[in-house]
A and B are shown apart, each in its own frame.
Chain A
Amino acid sequence: QLQLVQSGAEVKKPGTSVKVSCQAYGFTLTDYFIHWVRQAPGQGLEWLAWINPNNGDLRFGQKFHGRITVSRDTPFNTVSLEVRSVTSDDTAVYFCARGGTIYGGSSNGLDVWGQGTTITVSS
């Protein structure tokens, strides 16, 4: 069964960093782009970034450049998102999702999603 399993909810203080992991089951992570998406309370979906786990290539949403890091741990079929210097605006549910294959052709969409990880930033 195709699955992405994310790490658990966290509460963080402003100015600290938070890391969310995403482990793939049923498919090889390095064959697909992995995207990160978040939804703040009462807001819409917001795209953050994607990573090519095969070679580490990255793209970020303009707003997040320099403040987020996406990394891969391919032996464990895992990617992670780190957000630095968090503020209350980073309070959100964070999702990882499987994108298209890395072998070319247009994406078939974000077809497998993690369960979501709630990050709360509060002093």
Chain B
Amino acid sequence: SFELTQPPSVSVSPGQTAWITCSGDALPKQYAYWYQHKPGQAPLLIIYKDIERPLGIPERFSGSTSGTTVTLMITGVQAEDEADYYCHSSDSNDVWVFGGGTKLTVL
């Protein structure tokens, strides 16, 4: 079955850059999406189609892709960016899956 693999945790100091990776065999052929999720809230779409940023999402959030890995980059990390981040993608049968999630800690 289709799987997406993320690191469980990433820690950065305020103002630094955070990279969160997501790996999966289908990613060269399927778009990836990234969500920010804070406790008690609904997830928030922050990147779609690998690299696109929805209106209203700060420019410090960006996405990239290389082979079987997609990467979410957060430049100039702020305290408010502390959250869980999930990648999301589908297989060729349009069955979707989330990565296991990465907890971003702002030190």
| A residues adjacent to B (C-beta < 8 A) | 35, 37, 39, 44-47, 50, 59-62, 95, 97, 106-111, 113-116
Establish whether residues A47 and B96, one from each chain, have CB atoms under 8 Å apart when the complex forms. Answer: yes
Contact (A47, B97) CB under 8 Å given A109-B33, A109-B54, A110-B35: yes
| B residues adjacent to A (C-beta < 8 A) | 1, 31, 33, 35, 37, 42-45, 47-49, 52, 54, 84, 86, 88, 93-101
Q: Which residue of A lies closest to B1 (CB)?
A: A62
Number of A-B contacts (CB under 8 A): 69
Cα–Cα distance between A109 and B87 once the two chains are bound (Å): 11
Cα–Cα distance between A77 and B104 once the two chains are bound (Å): 37
Establish whether residues A107 and B98, one from each chain, have CB atoms under 8 Å apart when the complex forms. Answer: no
Establish whether residues A110 and B43, one from each chain, have CB atoms under 8 Å apart when the complex forms. Answer: yes
Cα–Cα distance between A52 and B98 once the two chains are bound (Å): 20
A95 is contacted by which of B43, B48, B94, B95 (Cβ under 8 Å)? B43
Q: Which residue of B lies closest to A39 (CB)?
A: B37
Known: A46-B98, A107-B49. 9 other contacts (CB 8 A): A44-B86, A44-B99, A95-B42, A97-B43, A106-B31, A107-B31, A109-B45, A110-B45, A114-B42
Cα–Cα distance between A60 and B45 once the two chains are bound (Å): 21
Cα–Cα distance between A116 and B38 once the two chains are bound (Å): 13
Cα–Cα distance between A59 and B97 once the two chains are bound (Å): 12
Q: Which residues from B are CB-within-8-Å of A60?
A: 95
Establish whether residues A45 and B42, one from each chain, have CB atoms under 8 Å apart when the complex forms. Answer: no
**Minimum-distance CB pairs A-B, first 3:** A109-B48, A113-B42, A44-B101
Establish whether residues B86 and A113, one from each chain, have CB atoms under 8 Å apart when the complex forms. Answer: no
Contact (A44, B49) CB under 8 Å given A61-B97, A109-B54: no
Q: Which residues from B are CB-within-8-Å of A35?
A: 96
Establish whether residues B42 and A115, one from each chain, have CB atoms under 8 Å apart when the complex forms. Answer: yes
A107 to chain B, nearest CB (A): 7
